[in-house]
């Protein structure tokens, strides 16, 4: 069997359809997503496509590439549906959706090129349903687009590597693709992209003691293509920011993460290995089962290539101080391919007693995660909203038997069939979460509810919201870039100075301070409504009142 364009197109379509549920109804997720969306929207409204900003503050974390993509997507949506769409979340999520729909066929091609069509399809399936990939593909952040870019230059490396194996010439277009993809990666994430970009060939060089295949990528002039992509913007931002961008992005953000855990994300080595059980679920246990087979076949050129992709990247991000699960996402396609090879073409090597015990223990953890994942939507919805959703109950009824079947098949040592069952359970459970659970969690949808109340009661078109107790980026994105995030006394002063077109959002705990400050100005206020809920970013319960001058 050989995969054709139709197979790859079908894989892309399936991925696209699986990533669609809930995309338009999901509120801004995490703190990073609304920052990306707001900065991209401000690019459009300001016409400044060089200097990335969130409100009036520079956002100097990475280059402008991802903001250009999201701004372009939002601009097309604006042309089609009007300017109101700029305050919707879905236009900014389109680049991630398209990237996800391209990543899965590309993974299938790489798996097929290395181990055959069946392995390629299995690898694509394992990656498609993995928890971290599904979560990132639903958000307007950089990680899915960055993964596509990394896969592109890894694919070019693989093409040159396979050409060396066949003793056939490598096209100059492959070399151009590699260096251009590196340049695009620099525009997306800066020098971080060079870790997988250069570590894979360096690791292969060290293992094989042969650099002949590297010359196929024309490094003597290829680096000029890479620089041609990124240098024009680098010069422009250096002039505009007077050098501040590079001091922040490189000095504080990039190098700072190496030495210190930023934003409370400092964790010891081993973090990524621990969260892998959930992040790559349901493929995580099958990846663990594949380790003995990978070790046995470690001398195969295909395995060396994939290990040279995985190990250096993983080690770097285990050793740096700041750790987030998505940092090792670029290794997941290679892990999926090795896992698929163990499931489809390799025999099962004999295991020692302690290996069996370790895998059995990890299997129990994997099964517990899977069962919890099946029940999670129903339990969370009932606990937080005191309701049951028919759609989520249907998802539970569909996912639970498949998960039970996967466990039973694993006990009987039918690994491939167990993987199919687990993937089916993941698809159904994820659909339930995105279609029935998250859209109904009104308790944590504080920003959308505040924005809806603000639109209902604002006295004029240019009304400014002053928020004293709820300062999430999602509020800024949904209400507007002129939103003021200040303390209760400063809010009272702002309301007094701008009484006609200002609304104040104040939590119950800050209300006395706010009213006392207003009493000193003799300004009376009226309450337009209250919104209660949970700020899931920090776990604080809030009771927010919307106030305006009487």
Residue 251: what pLDDT? 59
Listed residues 290, 314, 344: the one ending a domain: 344
Q: Closest by alpha carbon to 467, among 488, 440, 451?
A: 488
List phi, psi (to 5°) of 72. Answer: -65, -45
The stretches of 47-142 forming alpha helices (DSSP H) are 65-81, 90-115, 117-129, 131-137
Evaluate if residue 259 carries a pLDDT over 70: no
Q: Do residues 260 and 321 lie in contact, with contact meaning Cβ atoms separated by under 8 Å?
A: yes
pLDDT average, residue stretch 150-155: 96
Considering the domain architecture, whether residues 395 and 511 belong to the same structural domain is answered as: no
Angle, CA of 292, 293 and 294, to the nearest 5°: 90
Structural domain count, the chain: 3
Query: For 445-481, what is each residue's pLDDT tens digit?
Result: 899 999 999 999 988 888 999 999 888 899 999 998 8
- pLDDT at residue number 8: 95
Regarding whether 387 and 471 lie in a shared domain, the answer is no
Same domain, 428 and 466: no
- Strands 525-535 and 57-58: what pairing? unpaired
Q: Taking residues 186-210, report their average pLDDT.
A: 90
Using DSSP's 3-state secondary structure scheme, residue 53 falls into strand
Query: Are residues 190 and 216 located together in one domain of the fold?
Result: yes
CB contact at 8 A, 69 and 75: no
Residue 502 has pLDDT above 50, yes or no: yes
Say if residue 328 is in the same domain as residue 358.
no
Q: Indicate whether 339 and 360 sit together in one domain.
A: no
Task: State the residue range of the domain holding 432.
Answer: 353-440
> In terms of DSSP bridges, do strands 484-485 and 464-467 run parallel, antiparallel, or are they unpaired?
parallel
Q: What is the layout of strands, in order, in the sheet containing 502-507?
A: 484-485, 464-467, 502-507, 540-549, 525-535
* DSSP output for 465-519: EEESS---HHHHHHH-TT-EE--HHHHHHHHHHS-TTEEEEEEHHHHHHHHHHHH
Judge if 306 and 371 occupy the same domain: no
Same domain, 473 and 434: no
Q: What is the pLDDT of residue 252?
A: 61
Q: Is 463 helix (H, G, I), strand (E, B) or coil?
A: coil
Question: What is the domain-level CATH number for residue 497?
Answer: 3.40.190
Domain boundary among 423, 440, 457: 440
Q: For the residues 536-545, what does the mean pLDDT come to?
A: 85
Alpha helices in 282-389 (DSSP H): 283-296, 301-319, 332-344, 353-385
Same domain, yes or no: 78 and 16: yes
Distance CA 381, CA 402 (A): 22
Q: Is the pLDDT of residue 74 over 80?
A: yes
* 457 and 412 belong to one structural domain: no
Distance, CA of 289 to CA of 9 (rounded, Å): 30
Q: Is there a single domain that holds both residue 175 and residue 85?
A: yes
Confidence of residue 266 (pLDDT cuts 50, 70, 90): low
Predicted confidence (pLDDT) at residue 109 exceeds the cutoff of 90? yes
Rounded average pLDDT over 55-79: 92
Per-residue pLDDT at 160: 93
Is 477 or 388 the better-scoring residue by pLDDT? Answer: 477
Query: What is the distance between the alpha carbons of residues 33 and 475, in angstroms, rounded to a whole number?
Result: 12
List, in sequence order, every residue forming a beta bridge with 223; answer none if it has no partner: none
**Residue 246 vs residue 264, higher pLDDT:** 246
Pair (543, 406) in one structural domain: no
Of 301, 324, 344, which marks where a domain is finished?
Answer: 344
pLDDT value of position 270: 86
More reliable by pLDDT, 351 or 182: 182
The whole-angstrom separation of Cα 409 and Cα 419 is: 9
State the DSSP code for 142.
S
């Amino acid at each position: 069997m050989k995969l054709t364009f139709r197979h790859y197109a079908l894989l892309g379509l399936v991925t696209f359809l699986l990533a669609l549920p809930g995309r338009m109804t999901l509120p801004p997720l995490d703190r990073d997503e609304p920052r990306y969306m707001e900065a991209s929207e401000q690019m459009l409204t300001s016409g400044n496509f060089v200097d990335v900003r969130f409100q009036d503050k520079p956002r100097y974390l990475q280059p402008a590439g991802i903001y250009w993509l999201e701004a372009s997507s939002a601009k097309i949506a604006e042309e089609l549906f009007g300017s109101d769409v700029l305050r919707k979340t879905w236009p900014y999520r389109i680049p991630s959706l398209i990237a996800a729909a391209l990543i899965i066929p590309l993974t299938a091609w790489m798996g097929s090129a290395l181990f055959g069509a069946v392995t390629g399809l299995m690898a694509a399936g394992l990656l498609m349903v993995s928890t971290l990939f599904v979560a990132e593909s639903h958000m307007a952040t950089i990680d899915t687009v960055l993964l596509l870019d990394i896969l592109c230059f890894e694919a070019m490396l693989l093409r040159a590597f396979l050409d060396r194996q066949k003793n056939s010439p490598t096209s100059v277009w492959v070399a151009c693709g590699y260096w251009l993809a590196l340049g695009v990666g620099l525009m997306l994430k800066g020098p971080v992209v060079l870790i997988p970009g250069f570590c894979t060939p360096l690791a292969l060089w060290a293992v094989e003691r042969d650099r002949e295949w590297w010359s196929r990528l024309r490094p003597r002039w290829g680096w000029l293509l890479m620089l041609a992509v990124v240098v024009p913007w680098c010069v422009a931002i250096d002039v505009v920011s007077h050098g501040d961008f590079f001091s922040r992005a490189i000095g504080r953000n990039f190098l700072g993460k190496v030495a210190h855990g930023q934003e409370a994300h400092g964790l010891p080595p081993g973090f990524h290995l621990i969260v892998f059980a959930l992040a790559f679920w349901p493929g995580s246990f099958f990846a663990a089962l594949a380790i003995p087979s990978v070790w046995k076949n470690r001398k195969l050129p295909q395995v060396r290539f994939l290990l040279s992709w995985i190990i250096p990247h993983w080690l770097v991000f285990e050793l740096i101080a700041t750790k987030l699960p998505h940092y090792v996402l670029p290794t997941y396609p290679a892990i999926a391919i090795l896992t698929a090879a163990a499931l489809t073409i390799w025999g099962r090597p004999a295991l020692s007693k302690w290996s069996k015990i370790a895998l059995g223990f990890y299997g129990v953890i994997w099964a517990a995660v899977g069962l919890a994942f099946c029940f999670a939507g129903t339990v969370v919805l009932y606990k937080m909203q005191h309701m049951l959703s028919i759609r989520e109950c249907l998802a539970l009824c569909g996912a639970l038997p498949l998960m039970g079947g996967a466990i039973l098949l694993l006990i009987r040592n039918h690994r491939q069939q167990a993987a199919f069952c687990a993937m089916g359970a993941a698809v159904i459970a994820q659909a339930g979460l995105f279609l029935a659970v998250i859209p109904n969690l009104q308790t944590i949808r504080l920003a959308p509810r505040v924005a809806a109340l603000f639109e209902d009661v604002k006295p004029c078109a240019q009304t400014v919201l002053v928020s004293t107790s709820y300062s999430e980026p999602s509020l800024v994105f949904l209400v507007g870039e002129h939103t003021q995030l200040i303390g209760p006394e400063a809010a009272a002063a702002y309301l007094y100075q701008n009484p006609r077109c200002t609304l104040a959002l104040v939590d119950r705990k800050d209300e006395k301070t706010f009213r006392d400050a207003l009493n000193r100005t003799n300004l009376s206020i009226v309450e337009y409504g209250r919104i209660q809920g949970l700020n899931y970013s920090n776990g604080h319960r809030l009771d927010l009142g919307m106030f305006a001058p009487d």
